[in-house]
Amino acid sequence: MSACFGYLGANAVIEKLGVEDVNITAVSSLNVGTLTGFNNYGTISNCYTTGTIAGSQYVGGLAGHNYYGNVDNCYSRVSVTGPDDCSFFGGLFGRSYRGSISKCYSTGHVSGGSNALYLGELIGYRYQTAITACFWDIGTSSQADSDGGTGKPTADMKDMTTFTGPAAGWDFLGESTNGDDDNWGSPVNANDGYPVLWWQDVPICVNRPKYDSNGDCRVDFVDFTGFASQWLDCGLLNPNHCTQ
């Protein structure tokens, strides 16, 4: 069960799709995801999801179950909740069997009862799935661990260098070290500061001006006002040195 595709078969490809503000409740269903319930050998690329989802088994913010599927450059900001005995819950995937997941992140709150099994912030449970340069937000999560991926503080999840460094190699607009595919962008006053996909219709900063003091990727009257308000302020130990 999902908001879009219940099942993805072999050779199915989903690209550049965003599903926003979903509210799915399927507590008696298996394979529940925002984008797809079951990804069977399909490909998902440059997609994102937001909202809330509730289920009982194999539930994920992007997809409930990934079976030999290949997923890259996606993110999920979906909160995933379940009953006391829920199992295989993840911010991105509830369960992943083989396949690959690359350059993805999740920030949703994943929670279940005291008898819950296999809960993870990025993936609840995986078997022989190749995970490359994927991250999850430890500040927004209720889970201390994930079966794959790297947990980062919220501030780091909003810092482009977390993703563009040599260990991760995400390709962002405005940098050329990681190639010219330009899959990701740094938003300005959008997505709560988390990275966005290049095709999303939000302000994206590609070249931050040197004298941009408030982080909006422009130098304008706001920056001048801050400069003027501190004109001739001096923090030297000896005030007499301020006029020298």
For each of the domains in the chain, give its residue range(s) and CATH number, in order of start: 5-157 (2.160.20.110)
Mean pLDDT across the chain, nearest whole number? 91
Six token digits for residue 96: 């992943």
- The C-alpha angle 196, 101, 78, rounded to 5 degrees, equals 50
Q: What is the mean pLDDT of residues 139-162?
A: 91
Q: Between 46 and 27, where is the model more confident? A: 46
pLDDT tier at 28 (50, 70, 90 boundaries)?
confident
**Residue 184 and residue 176 in contact, taking contact as beta carbons nearer than 8 Å:** no
What pLDDT, on the 0 to 100 scale, is given for residue 3?
64
Q: Between 112 and 3, where is the model more confident? A: 112
Q: What is the mean pLDDT of residues 149-154?
A: 95
Q: What is the mean pLDDT of residues 182-187?
A: 96
Q: Between 2 and 158, where is the model more confident? A: 158
**Residue 104 and residue 69 in contact, taking contact as beta carbons nearer than 8 Å:** no
- CA separation for the pair 244, 240 (Å, rounded): 7
